[in-house]
Amino acid sequence: MKALILAAGFGTRMSPITNIIPKPLIPVVNVPVIEYNIHFLKYHGVKEIFINLHHNGSKIAKVLGTGKKYGVKLTYMHEKEILGTGGAIGNMKELVEEPFIVINSDTIFDFDFDEMISSHFCSGRKVTLGVVLSDSRDSRAVLTVDEKNIIVRMLETSRYSTVPEGNAIFTGIHIIDPSVLDYIPNDVFVSITNYVYQRMIGGEDIINAFVINGKWWDMGTPDDYIECNFELLKLLPFKYFNPYEKYKLKPEIINNESLVIMGDQVKIPAVPLLPPLILGNGSDLESLDHAGPNLIVGDKVKLKEKSDSVNAIYFSNSDGSRILFGKKGKIFY
């Protein structure tokens, strides 16, 4: 199977960080978030990946390259005018002849994707969407999935005469049959959910839902981003990817309850290190009197005497002059 990673958006909810760093390159535990998606897809047998680009697209392509370092082939689809999720997916018309995968660049998954692929082909449906069950009080629960795993409501469109309460959240991972692409006009801004999936649900087509039995993180807001980082500190490595490999730490010796990882040439005095924390290559904490818990320091970051060292994330090469506050911590970039 082939896959498309959606990476063209402006990432406005993470502004002003995304004015400088495109959202797909924002680091999660010191690794660009889009790399998690590449490793996830590769682990499940996907070797040919397309990435649509617009905002700061050249920066993304420069970091990822041809895909050789990940063991996959990356092909970039540059959009002069941003086309939305539907327009980007529509550009796959001449590139696929069998069902393909679409995944957002700013989400992280940890579940058995092979089960979702199997569900798609067994269902005989044109589309399968990965969902997580939720309560109708959650504003994101704008889908309703019935007992047969059929999506009977999306947004305000329903297969019924009345709109049922939502009970599921769409996670942004799709498996799509190429026939669906006929719904999408060429070179026009289109939302796949509003323009295509709502029409399918309102018509005769049935959309299959796969309920994810695992984990899903969405980097939509600063709070979501901070929470994801600190949660992953306690959960990593994944079966499909170990971001600690570059620190020469073998997965079997990681104790997440007392996780302290230091890269090469770290400068740190003899002070309490309160886990979990990770200190990138060349980081300098010599001015601190303690560090952690919940501290992620990127490469070549020098912390000053009064720098935050609890519930804080420092991007690589950060001098701490730019700060984004969240309820759960601070981001220095």
Distance, CA of 221 to CA of 199 (rounded, Å): 29
Distance, CA of 173 to CA of 94 (rounded, Å): 21
pLDDT of residue 254: 67
HSE, side-chain direction, 13 A CA sphere, residue 245: 8
Count of Cβ atoms closer than 10 Å to residue 175 Cβ: 26
Q: Which domains does the chain have, with CATH numbers?
A: 2-218 (3.90.550.10), 222-332 (no CATH)
Instruction: List C-alpha distances in Å: 271 to 195, 266, 286.
Output: 57, 14, 9
Beta carbons of 57 and 8 less than 8 angstroms apart = yes
What integer is the mean pLDDT of 260-274?
90
Distance, CA of 190 to CA of 124 (rounded, Å): 25
- Compute the mean pLDDT over every residue in the chain, rounded to the nearest whole number: 94
pLDDT of residue 257: 72
pLDDT of residue 15: 94
Distance, CA of 218 to CA of 170 (rounded, Å): 11
Alpha helix (H) ranges present in 151-221?
198-202
Q: Which residues pair with 6 in a beta bridge?
A: 52, 104
- For the stretch 108-140, pLDDT in tens is 999 999 999 999 999 999 999 999 999 888 999
Q: Exposed, middle or buried, 258 (CB in 10 Å: 0-12/13-18/19+)?
A: exposed
pLDDT of residue 246: 86
Spatial CA neighbour of 41 closest among 1, 6, 9, 78: 1
- For the stretch 19-64, pLDDT in tens is 999 999 999 999 999 999 999 999 999 999 999 999 999 999 999 9
The amino acid present at 180, given as its one-letter code, is V
Spatial CA neighbour of 7 closest among 30, 37, 47, 31: 37
Q: What percent of the chain has pLDDT over 90?
A: 86
Q: Which residues pair with 310 in a beta bridge?
A: none
Question: Does the pLDDT at position 252 exceed 80?
Answer: no
Spatial CA neighbour of 326 closest among 313, 309, 317: 313
Distance, CA of 287 to CA of 259 (rounded, Å): 22
